[in-house]
Amino acid sequence: MQRNKFVELVYNPARIMFLLLSILYYVSIQFFDCWQLITEIVFKHIIQFKTSMQVTLACNFPFPKFVEGVVKGQF
């Protein structure tokens, strides 16, 4: 009788499922801030890379000729 109670208590599929879900929930809460931080850093780097590319393109492409023209008095 004691053995059946133990088996019924421990090996209940609903209880095992609840335990797994609660562990998964706890782990996801623990790592949520970490993942948020990682994605934030990654997106910041992507945005910085894009803006730096735009800045370098803008600085390398139109400005030197424009500044040269201003210095020579063409504009």
C-alpha–C-alpha distance, residues 75 and 56, integer Å? 23
Structural domain that includes position 11: 2-72
The total domain count for the chain is 1
Residue 61 has phi, psi (to 5 degrees) of -90, -70
Q: What is the pLDDT of residues 12-40, one digit of tens each?
A: 777 788 888 888 887 777 666 666 777 77
CA nearest neighbour of 2 among 17, 13, 10: 10
Please give the model's pTM, rounded to 2 decimal places: 0.33
Q: Do residues 45 and 53 touch, judged by C-beta distance below 8 A?
A: no
Pick the more confident residue, 55 or 18.
18
- What is the separation of C-alpha 51 from the centre of its chain, rounded to a whole number of angstroms? 19
